[in-house]
Structure 1
Amino acid sequence: MKIKTLVGLIGIVTLINILGRMTGFLREILIGIHFGTSFLADSVVLAYTLPQFFYIVLGGALTTSFISIYSKIDDTNKRDFKRVILTYSSLILLVLTVALILLNEVIIRELFPGLEGNQLDVTQSLFNITAPSTLFLVLSMWFTGILNVHGKYVGASIAVLLNNVLFVLAILVFHRFFGVYAYAWGFVFGALIMFVLLIYQMKKEELLSASPQFKYVDSSHLRRLFKIFIPILLGGATLQFYFLIQRIFASSLSEGYVAAINYASKLIQLPQTILMTSVTTVIYPLLAKKVANKEYQDINKIFEKGNHLLVILIIPLSIYTYFFSSEITEIIFGYGSFDNRSIIMTSSMLKIFVIGMFAHAANMYITRFFYATEKTMYPVIISVIAVFVLNVLLVNLLLPVIGAGAVPWGTTVSAFAQYFALLILGKYLLGLRAGSHVQILKYVFLISTQVIIFYLFKNFTSFQNNLVELTVSLLLFGITYLLTLYLLGERLSTLNPKSSKRV
């Protein structure tokens, strides 16, 4: 595939993903407007935690492992392979969904032990509504993967966008009638429509057969899929495991911290996910094919370029967000029930979370290269240690000392530990290079310059209006950022297809 074609696809998918993520983020803003950091906001967030968790974790693991095998088998076997995976996945997910509905009260009580009284009752009621969406969401993720591997990126992205749009519309229309329950019904409605639209697209492209199939001629393909599915399940959705652990700990804190942590984490997730989802949606199927063709030099070029772009795009944005966390929180969320207490709670969480924004994005990016080469066990081990050992240990140690801030600090420190471990393994196992010593010095200069400039701006200027302050600071950010890149010899046309060769 030519770079020009690749960049064109990334551009289209990025645009649709930006709209989808912005619309999805609008849901968080609406929660803030309607409920602020009250127990109702906590209940809404907790109610769709598990369906969303399974969507990303199960759906992501199934899709990633499927693409890895599917792209490497003969065309004659692909149709049967898809039918078998669809048959067993549908049955397993149906059982899981029914279990979530029947064991609703036990699951919520045991998973979030800090809930009690009215908050526990509301959360259980909301979860009872959202639980059935698990089946639609996970299968939708897999359908999206099939469409992507066949080059149908745009249609799959539109379906995800529609899911978020319908969710938000349902909230806007029905909140006045059903209150907090409009969020639960809107969540299910959006998931169902996305599921139906993806089935339509699969049928249209002749990629889906409704008839079940329980046997497959080459069992080695199924064994390979299962072999990499479990590691990806454990290590491929690190961010979602972080979210789950954050909410488990936050459920035992003061009222509103589940919501405050959610607002802050979703705010920093927005830019990193837009970039990472758009790039990996197109690059991962390409990586799988290049691994099959043993084009290792091209793989390293993709890795080095991606890591470089993550540094120069995400780290300056993180620095800016750190210094202006309170102003950003107020401008984005500060309406309706989102009062001054909510702003203080959310911005204090945001300031810590944003330090780790680059590490989370980079971890997601690096692990794709391990998955493409089917060396899945290494990132899994690192992820398990970082999330379930280091993260949990840090939170437990810091909670008595600094309170709620322990939750984002645990996530941030363990994310960087995971990043450096993946870099080391990527270098020695896959031959991946993150950059030269000269490049690292350039990064240090870029980071130091941004920190000094915004420290001086924040401490030696005064504005009466937050919007004016953000406007002036953003203008300063843009000027200093471009000037710094110029001094470092960077060009905005780095990915200009006219100056690039084939990848």
Structure 2
Amino acid sequence: MKKNTLIVGSLTLISLMLGFGRESLIAFLFGSTSYTDAFYVAMIVPDILAGWIGFTVTNAMVPVLKKEIGMSSLSSVRLTSTVFVYVLIGSCLLALIAFFSVNPIITYLAPNFDLIQSATGERMLRIMVVAIIFSAVSGLFSGINNTYEQFAYSSLVGVFYNLFFFLSLLALHKWLGIYALAVGLVVGVVGRVVIQAIPIVRQKRISRKINYWHKSIPTIFKAMIPIFLSQALSQINQVVDRILASGLPSGQITNLNYASKLGLLPTSLIGGTIATTMYIRFVKLNNENKRTEMGHQYLKALSWILFVGLFVSGGLIFFNDSIVSFMYLHGEFTIMDLHVTSELLLLYGCFCLFYMMIPISMQYFFSFHGGKFIIFAVSSAVIVNITCGYLLVNSIGIKGLVLANGCAQAVNFFILYFIALKKASLPMLRKSFKLLLNAAPGLLMIVLPMALISFLFEFHVEASKWMQLLRGGTAAAGTALFALLLLPLFKTNLVLSTFINAFRRIVASKKKSKDRVQAV
């Protein structure tokens, strides 16, 4: 599990860096305009529809496929082949419906767009509907690879997507203008499928023979219903955000997108990485009927997320302007864009711990087909988001969207957390107190020094990139040094003791290897 987490985390980090490179190039070439707003509204359609299919099928299929692999390899191949046919047919139908419905879709998503913005969004959406098919297939392939614990290929999805998108945008922007964004998205999604297909084709995980039925299909369809509904409810938040944001000043949807890419980085890098590797373990423990052990593993994962997440959260809160300036302040991206984006990033930093803990919480319930609990939690979050969104956007503008979404994620997490502990028959208050106790040293060791450094070493947002790197490096080094000095005070802490023991094992292993070489 540690090895898999390290692999997934490393590849996710590379993917995120390439993603920032892609967003930085978009900011350089197009800035924050009504045209980029049209792109970010149109692109959520393939994201929602393809994510809907891929997420639902994958989470419903993995537990069933895991059992099939244990019983018969031939039957497992027949199952994946059958699901592939259904996913392909379903995604093609959705792509066709979207293609012929671009006008009402854009009108619904952005009712306050002018005629030029709406026309631009419609043209882009007609190009991007192809991505629905490739994204859905990519999601299925990801589930298959993860079931066989080949996490590296699934983690390379983001790397290939961002790389293909970046290169195509670089090559086509002069000829296609703003529409190069739509073409780049499609090319990037094709890259996802290519890398995922390599182990599946090579190891013959899907049969060339077309299969239309498998005995486990009813089980998968039954498991899909609550997951499908919970995902549909989750997508409502995105739709509501775009509807509310469409009436805001030109360019602010793009600013929101830039801030969310940075603010939600911990969700993929920390929360998503741990959730991806722990999901298979949850499935195994559930198959062995070890529900209490599942609860303990869930709490342990939360402890790590809380402790590590404090470092990222502190960085986003205290260095938001530096991060945005370093990543985006060039080309068509203006100082005004920087101020708006950095304010939004600060708000994401305040709520990023909740965003990080949502993936592992959802995977915990998906492992035993507990989708009905997720539906309840997500429904509550949607109500909070819609209510707060309408109230806050009218008073504080685009910042109200981030605040409303953050509050909704907090509600979502707390409901799932309390139900998870109850299902695992674990004492609520005692385990919650222990969880906070494990994360508490991070406040003193990480957040406090970051706050001090940010106030002591202020700088102008237009400083050179090297000065920004120097300030960020000083903050990271100062925080690490302060943490090392205080480390002896918290040796009994669960997270820190695990880290210390792992470090000692690495040192001991290297020392043994050195002694063995000298002996030879």
Q: Same fold (TM over 0.5)?
A: yes
Q: How does 1:49-128 map to 2 (within 5 A)?
A: 49-73=44-68, 74-75=71-72, 77-128=75-126
Q: Which residue of 1 aligns with 2:11?
A: 16
Match of 1:430 in 2: 424
Give the drift of 1:239: 6.7
Report how far residue 346 of structure 1 moved: 0.5
> What is the match of residue 412 of structure 1?
406
SS at match of 1:212: coil
Q: Could you tell me which residue of structure 1 aligns to residue 490 of structure 2?
A: 488
8 Å CA contact retained: 1:133, 1:188: yes
Partner of 1:349: 344
Alpha-carbon distance between aligned partners in 2 of 1:382 and 1:177, rounded to the nearest angstrom: 47
CA distance in 2, matches of 1:433, 1:173: 58
Query: Is residue 2:288 matched to residue 1:293?
Result: yes
Instruction: Say whether 1:390 aligns with 2:388.
Output: no
1:457/1:24 CA distance change after superposition, 3 Å: closer
Relative to structure 1, the CA distance from residue 486 to residue 168 in structure 2 (aligned partners, 3 Å threshold; closer, same or farther) is: farther
Unpaired segments ≥5 residues, structure 1: 1-5
What is the SS of the residue equivalent to 2:264?
Answer: helix
Distance 2:419 2:157 in 1: 36
Q: CA deviation at 1:170?
A: 0.6
Alpha-carbon distance, 1:429 to partner: 1.5
- Distance between the aligned counterparts of 1:29 and 1:142, measured in 2? 30
Instruction: Indicate how the Cα distance of structure 1 residues 486 and 181 shifts in structure 2: closer, same or farther if over 3 A, else same.
Output: farther
Aligned amino acid, residue 40 of structure 2: V
Following superposition, the deviation at residue 263 of structure 1 comes to 0.8
Query: Which of 204, 213, 235 is the aligned partner of 2:211?
Result: 213
1:135 positional shift: 0.5
Amino acid of the structure 2 residue aligned with 1:38: T
> Any idea what SS the aligned residue of 2:211 has?
coil
What does the per-residue CA deviation read over 1:453-474, in whole Å, with 9 as the maximum and x for residues that have no partner? 4444444554454614333333
Match of 2:366 in 1: 371
- Residues 445 and 9 (structure 1 numbering): CA distance in 2 closer, same or farther, change over 3 Å? closer
Report how far residue 41 of structure 1 moved: 1.9
Q: Answer yes or no: is 1:263 the counterpart of 2:258.
A: yes
Counterpart in the other structure of 1:3: none
Structure 1 residue 342: deviation in Å? Answer: 0.5
2:21 maps to 1:26? yes
Residue 262 of structure 1 and its aligned partner are, at CA, apart by: 0.8
Q: How far 1:180 sits from its partner (Å)?
A: 1.3
Show the counterpart of 2:471: 469
User: Structure 2-normalised TM-score?
Assistant: 0.87
Query: What is the letter of the counterpart of residue 157 of structure 1?
Result: S
**Matching residue of 1:305:** 300
Q: TM-score, normalized by length of structure 1?
A: 0.90
Q: 1: distance between equivalents of 2:153 and 2:47?
A: 21
User: 1:427 Cα shift?
Assistant: 1.0
Q: CA deviation at 1:401?
A: 1.8
- Structure 1 residue 253: deviation in Å? 1.1
Map 1:107-186 → 2, pairs under 5 A:
107-186=105-184
Taking a change above 3 Å as real, the CA distance of residues 394 and 481 of structure 1, as seen in their structure-2 partners, is farther
CA distance in 1, matches of 2:328, 2:486: 31
Question: In 2, distance between residues paired with 1:281 and 1:291?
Answer: 16
Deviations 1:403-425 (A, max 9, x none): 22110010111111222211111
Which runs of 5 or more residues in structure 2 are unaligned? 507-520
C-alpha contact (below 8 Å) 1:61/1:233 kept by paired residues: yes
Shift of 1:310: 0.5
- Amino acid across the alignment from 1:147: N
Q: What is the CA–CA distance in structure 2 between the aligned matches of 1:240 and 1:169, rounded to whole Å?
A: 29
Cα separation, 2, equivalents of 1:319 and 1:173: 38
What letter corresponds to residue 416 of structure 1 in structure 2? A
Alignment check: 8 A CA contact 2:53 2:91 kept: no
Shift of 1:92: 1.3
Residue 64 of structure 1 and its aligned partner are, at CA, apart by 0.9
Q: After TM superposition, list the pairs within 5 Å mapping 1:436-451 onto structure 2.
A: 437-441=433-437, 443-444=439-440, 446-447=442-443, 450-451=446-447
The CA deviation at 1:78 is 2.1
SS of 1:129's partner is: helix
Deviation by residue 1:254-275 (Cα, 9 ceiling, x = unmatched):
1111111111111022232022
Distance change >3 Å, CA 80–CA 330, structure 1 → 2: same
In the alignment of these two chains, the number of paired residues is 491
Which residue identity does 2:97 align to in structure 1?
A
Report if the CA contact (8 A) 1:22-1:270 is conserved. Answer: no
- Which amino acid letter does the alignment assign opposite residue 265 of structure 2? L
Tell me, yes or no, if the aligned pair for 1:67 and 1:145 is still in contact at 8 Å: yes
Q: 2 CA distance for matches of 1:7 and 1:367?
A: 21
1:179-258 to structure 2, matched below 5 A, reads 179-216=177-214, 218=215, 221-235=216-230, 241-258=236-253
Instruction: Report the 3-state secondary structure (helix = DSSP H, G, I; strand = E; otherwise coil) of the residue aligned with 2:413.
Output: helix
Answer whether contact 1:7 1:497 (CA < 8 A) is retained. no
Change in 2 beyond 3 A, CA 1:206/1:441: closer
